[in-house]
Amino acid sequence: MRLQRMLGAALLLALAGCVAPVPGMGGAAQRFAEVRTSPPLLRGFLNRMPKGGDLHTHLSGAAYAEGLLQAGAAAGLCLDPATTTVSPAPCATGQRPLRDALGDGALNRAVVDGWSMRGFVPTAGRSGHDQFFDAFARFGAAVQAATAAAEVVDRAGRQRIRYLELMVTFQGGAARRLGASIPWQGDPAAFRGQLMQAGIAGLVPAARAEARAVEAAMRQRLHCGTPAASPGCAVDVRWKAQISRTSPPGQVAAQALLAALLQQADSRVVGINLVAPEDHPVALADYSLQMRIMGDVHDAIPGTNIALHAGELALGLVPPEAMRFHIAEAVHQGRARRIGHGVDIMFEDDAFALLREMAVRRIAVEVNLSSNDVILGVKGAQHPLPVYLAAGVPVVLSTDDEGVSRIDRTHELQRAVEEHGLDWPTLLLLERNTLEYAFLPGASLWAEPREARRVPACAGADPLRAPPEACAALLAASPKAALQWSLERDLAAFDTEAPGLRY
């Protein structure tokens, strides 16, 4: 019905001849209607669909086991065949060189299965949650940031994704050591002062150098700037600094402050996020305190962009009491502008008021369908995605850990269509949301993204033509608007391309 209304509106506008074509209301919408009930054809269509960004993706979890294995083997790592855990050379008794897993079929299967959700079947005492998070410890020593980034960014470019916020830990060990060296007295603001006195800002240059080095090596691997350049070279890659929520308070505070200082110093780092299992005993016990720590850093360092994993819980995994307040506190005390997962929203004390508040204040939710399925067992009608949409909360679809889950961003779009019946206008909105709610600096192209209504400077302009002067000025001044405009241009072109996506 909504689609028909939009198509009707587009027809009227076209007849009136007074405005430029509106992306997404023509050939793409029609082709989507034709393919949406055929999973293979839908995949082919969605693969080619121009996309916005992936706002929730952890670099190490986004790398596939196969790439990690190659990198780890080349680095001469050792493998414990019983657990598939890797460690640096020399190999101890019972260990084998990891490179053996390149040619030995059975060992290769064991490694890929151990480092991901491939082939995993829950058994007594061993859940998908455990397999998922344990995988990180097994392959951890094999992660090389630049190699992993090249793989992930290439994959994004091939799916026509134009923007990534990759979550990485910068100078984590140094920040934790500094945090551990000062006694925690329970006051985040006072502790922050002590951290500054202890010279935490001195870690920022090393963190920036780390980010720059990873980026340079990644671009080299992608052959950027050469005729053999990967599609990934066109992706705008930014970083979010991770903070581990399983550390003692002082170490969380030190990591959070370093992350905020790093964001302040480097435009490549656009935000910060608390990571690791939300149901970890330390994360549960310290949840409210950690929210106060994040809020303190936010208020002390102007412009800090905070996204927080919150509500990545399910009944049974934790007591209901642990599901009553995490999202609300992330919004109120933690100053989160985006919520990661938000799966347990309806267990919150005042879920309906919280939904209304998120809608009014434009607090986005990063929905990770496959991750929620394999870790929490929440999927299909049990998932709150339709509730968030109906409540008017801004939604973005993201991958979380596409390598561990063995998925990609296109798959998550497909899953949203197949499990939740999303229509074409909603898919367009979700893609636009991934740029609207990105932590990219600059003014938005949109006056109201829900209605695809642009700011006056760019209203009515044809994305396939050069923008008028005032619009061009906005695009030149705003990295966010420039990226949004390029998505509109590609969506407009997709209207012409999509009808031809057939055999």
Least separation in angstroms between residue 170's CB and Zn ion is: 17
What is the C-alpha separation between 50 and 476, in angstroms, rounded? 22
Q: What's the CA angle centered on 37, arms 35 and 40, to 5 degrees?
A: 65
Least separation in angstroms between residue 277's CB and Zn ion is: 10
Residue number of the CB atom closest to Zn ion: 400
Which residue do the tokens 């990219």 mark? 440
Do residues 72 and 115 lie in contact, with contact meaning Cβ atoms separated by under 8 Å?
Answer: no
User: Among residues 219 and 406, whose Cβ is nearest to Zn ion?
Assistant: 406
- For the chain, give the longest Cα–Cα distance: 79
Spell out, one character per residue from 383 to 422, where the chain touches Zn ion: x when CB under 5 A holds, - when not: -----------------x----------------------
Name, in order, each residue with C-beta under 8 angstroms of 386's C-beta and a sequence gap of 6 or more: 420
Spell out, one character per residue from 287 to 326, where the chain touches Zn ion: x when CB under 5 A holds, - when not: ----------------------------------------
366 interacts with Zn ion by CB under 5 A: no
User: Among residues 329 and 400, whose Cβ is nearest to Zn ion?
Assistant: 400
Cβ count within 10 A of residue 172: 20
Binding-site size for Zn ion (CB under 5 A) equals 1
Least separation in angstroms between residue 255's CB and Zn ion is: 16
User: Among residues 266 and 400, whose Cβ is nearest to Zn ion?
Assistant: 400
Do residues 148 and 67 lie in contact, with contact meaning Cβ atoms separated by under 8 Å?
Answer: yes
- Where are the extended beta strands (E) located within 334-474? 338-341, 364-367, 395-397, 446-448, 453-454
User: Among residues 348 and 400, whose Cβ is nearest to Zn ion?
Assistant: 400
What is the C-alpha separation between 52 and 429, in angstroms, rounded? 10
Phi and psi at residue 52, in whole multiples of 5°?
A: -85, -100
The three-state DSSP-derived secondary structure of 88-121 is CCCCCCCCEECCHHHHCHHHHHHHHHHCCCCCCC
Q: Give the strand pairing for 364-367 and 446-448.
A: unpaired
Least separation in angstroms between residue 241's CB and Zn ion is: 14
Q: Mapping DSSP to helix (H, G, I), strand (E, B) and coil, where does residue 199 land?
A: coil
What is the C-alpha separation between 444 and 446, in angstroms, rounded? 5
Rg (CA), the chain: 23
User: Among residues 170 and 424, whose Cβ is nearest to Zn ion?
Assistant: 170
Is-cis flag, bond preceding 249, omega within 30?
Answer: no
Least separation in angstroms between residue 366's CB and Zn ion is: 8
Question: Read out DSSP for 224-279?
Answer: TTSTT--GGGGSEEEEEEEEETTS-HHHHHHHHHHHHHHHHH-TTEEEEEEES-TT
User: Among residues 178 and 241, whose Cβ is nearest to Zn ion?
Assistant: 241
Across the strands, what pairs with 236? 163
Phi and psi at residue 53, in whole multiples of 5°?
A: -130, 175
Least separation in angstroms between residue 62's CB and Zn ion is: 10
Least separation in angstroms between residue 29's CB and Zn ion is: 32
User: Among residues 127 and 372, whose Cβ is nearest to Zn ion?
Assistant: 372
* Interaction residues for Zn ion, span 464-493 (CB under 5 A): none
Least separation in angstroms between residue 438's CB and Zn ion is: 16
User: Among residues 6 and 237, whose Cβ is nearest to Zn ion?
Assistant: 237
The catalytic residues are 312
Judged by the rule CB under 5 A, the positions of this chain that interact with Zn ion are 400
